[in-house]
Amino acid sequence: MTAPITVALAGNPNAGKTTLFNALTGARQHVGNYPGVTVEKKEGFHVTPAGITINVVDLPGTYSLTAYSVEEVVARDYLVQERPRVVVNIVDASNLERNLYLTAQFLELGVPMVVALNMMDVAQDRGIAINAGRLAELLGVPVIPIVARSNKGTAELMAAVLALAEGTTAWNPLHLSYGEDLDSVLLAMEKEIAAGGFLTALYPPRWLAVKYLENDSEIRARGIGENPAVAAALAQKVQEVTDHLQKTMETYPEAIIADHRYGYIKSILRQEVVVRTYDADRLYTSDRIDRVVTNRFLGPIIMLAVLFGLYKFTFTYSELPVAWLDGFFGWLRELFGLLLPEGYFKSMLLAGVIDGVGGVLGFVPLIMFMFFGIAILEDSGYLARVAFMMDRIFRMFGLHGSSVMAYIVSGGIAGGCAVPGVMATRTLRSERERLATLLTVSFMNCGAKLPVLALLTGVFFASNQAQVMFLLTLLAWAVALLVAKLYRITILRGESTPFVMELPPYRLPTFRGLMIHTWERTWQYIKKAGTVILAISILLWAMMTFPGLPEREQERIDAQRQELLTGYPAEVVQEATEEGAEEEGLSPAAEELLAQLDGLDRLEAEKALEYSVAGRIGRTLERVSWLAGFDWRTNIALVGGFAAKEIVISTLGTAYSLGEVAPEENLSLAQTLAENPDWNPVMAFALIVFVMFYAPCFVTVVCIARESGSWKWGFFAMGFNTVFAFGLAVLVYQAGMALGLGG
């Protein structure tokens, strides 16, 4: 048996590449990453009716084969290094001229190619008739009309692919003419390249020469590594002709090359390939929708409604499955709680493993619903309109119009979640804007911060809690955007990526496409983030548990407990310590004993926490944290909050000897804080500010590391945010106290 042949799918974004890939491979696909970059690599298998297996690789969608975007470099590196047997170039028949620009570049590279003329139905509706046979003749490659959405023509397409695969494997580069000036210099450069054997193992000589003329940074860097002398000679020639063109025509070689490529395409299309029945300026349905949807007044209103709808959809509909999962893990916790003997193993299994796995899976419904919602917006074409409308505002902060989605999902409307928010930045194509967005989305008030904020505002700003909460949402937006701006003028400095972007025609998303989209992204989260999150969860548990109470302390508490028990008559002790004693009507003496025992248990938990690694960290940090008014108890709670922000509350409860406090039922904690003389509105506000902006929870940190492609950014977010938040908190506390607002 021979190895299956490999076929690469390539084409413009929005040409229907993914639809064709799904139609060909069905569920037999695998998503990974190209080495070293965050660009997704999708592979799958297609089995022909004759039983031949074909390995299909979905290359990233590109408009060109330059070195300007990661996608383009990935696509072309794949072609020259992996040398797929056949390239299927998907071309949007309703937008032929622009799509053929990439086709022309494939022809120049010389890859064995079949053109899949997709969306023939749309073209027909628009009154565009295309003579595929004539086009094939003029391009010199097979052209197969298909409709990927309804799987029409894919069998013929694969037959053409197989037929081509059986033929020669040699590449056959097309030589376009770029006009006198460039052609003569190209010829000279080609000679130089061929004579020096310069990179010719990978690239055709003329293609290399054209890339040099186009000022392709990646090829140039490669050339210098290969042979500096030849590289210098080529660069010299390019410089000469560039200067000449600047002087005589005020233009660039790359502009002339593009003009001639389009000229080549136009000359082909003019030879009876395309016949139009309607006027080219005719309004399409899509344009009519845009008249309303991007209207000056209606547009923003509709957009707000849609974004709010996405938010509601994500967080409302996921509530039920989240509750199921919560219930399931609660049940699991209880089950193991009953089955296992007391001890560190039990504690680790419950607090480390079950809570950790529960934590990972708890996000899954959220992520699924969010990606489903985004897939609808993306596949229908609306997302591009959002970017179009919001760009002016977000550009002021060095971001991109598409950033808005990530912020909203993260809690721009209070109560989101930064984990799906970080993952939503995938829709951003430009690297610097994407990084600036994904590093700042965690500043939003996510659902886990809300109970903390609600508790503190409820205690200290009870008279105008709603206003304060609203103010905090605005504060989150302001800080996120300003920090993004700060990043964009410092560590992520650089020109904004050109916005030149396509507004694809509106299309009804296919259910199958939506499902595949949603599932593969969700699965990636489970697979990639899951393991790390479990490990960190266990680590955090250990930090809050070990080394435990020193023997002396333990003995003291045990002695107290013993003393308490011996102080009561035996039947009262029996009554109070029986299984299920808490529920039944007890005698007053037993109740009193139980309350005292409880108090002792809580004291023990508090002491254990104080002596744990986290407690020691909290104590040590007190030396600095008093600047913001935080004592060691608050510090421990904040360390715990790294696991998940709502844990701040339960840890504060333990630290104040209140036992386990559920985030929603925090009356006792609220009362304790209100009565505690160390707490005042200024300190509470400093704490609010700190909780809002300090290190993202570790699930978010893991996602930041995964999505940015480097742990460097995960650690950066932890470090920067904590220092930044502490600075703000100190500012609030010191200014507030100086103004005498501490009461």
The residues that touch other proteins, with contacts defined as CB under 8 A, are: 63-64, 66, 68, 94-98, 101, 126, 128, 214-215, 250, 252, 254-255, 258-259, 262, 266, 280-281, 286-287, 290-291, 294-297, 299-300, 384, 388-389, 391-393, 395, 495, 497-505
Considering the complex, state which of residue 232 and residue 249 has its C-beta at the smaller distance from other proteins: 249
- Distance CA(534)–CA(126), nearest Å, equals 54
Which helix (DSSP H) or strand (DSSP E) does residue 157 occupy?
helix 154-166
| Least distance CB 391 / other proteins (angstroms) | 6
> In the beta sheet, which residues pair with residue 129?
275
| Least distance CB 214 / other proteins (angstroms) | 8
Considering the complex, state which of residue 257 and residue 703 has its C-beta at the smaller distance from other proteins: 257
How far, in Å, are 152, 212, 631 from residue 239 at the CA level? Answer: 50, 10, 66
Considering the complex, state which of residue 286 and residue 465 has its C-beta at the smaller distance from other proteins: 286
| Least distance CB 72 / other proteins (angstroms) | 9
> In the beta sheet, which residues pair with residue 44?
29, 56
- Which string of DSSP letters, residue by residue, matches 435-497? HHHHHHGGGS-BTTHHHHHHHHHHHHSGGGHHHHHHHHHHHHHHHHHHHHHHHHHTTT-SPPP
> How many C-beta neighbours within 10 Å does residue 99 have?
24
Residue whose structure tokens are 């010199």: 140
Residue 509's identity, in one-letter code, is P
Considering the complex, state which of residue 270 and residue 552 has its C-beta at the smaller distance from other proteins: 270
Residue 627's identity, in one-letter code, is L
Token output for 453: 């904020």
| Least distance CB 394 / other proteins (angstroms) | 11
Rg of the chain (C-alpha set): 32
| Least distance CB 282 / other proteins (angstroms) | 10
Considering the complex, state which of residue 46 and residue 385 has its C-beta at the smaller distance from other proteins: 385
Q: Find, among 81, 65, 67, the residue nearest to 10 by Cα.
A: 65
| Least distance CB 299 / other proteins (angstroms) | 5
| Least distance CB 639 / other proteins (angstroms) | 44
| Least distance CB 101 / other proteins (angstroms) | 7
The dihedral of CA 407, 409, 413, 416: what is its sign?
Answer: negative
Q: Find, among 643, 629, 639, the residue nearest to 701 by Cα.
A: 643
* 64-77 burial: b if 16+ Cβ within 10 Å, else e: bbbbebbbbbbbbb
Considering the complex, state which of residue 133 and residue 494 has its C-beta at the smaller distance from other proteins: 494
| Least distance CB 515 / other proteins (angstroms) | 28
List CB contacts of 586: < 8 A, sequence separation 6 or more: 575, 576, 594
> In the beta sheet, which residues pair with residue 143?
115
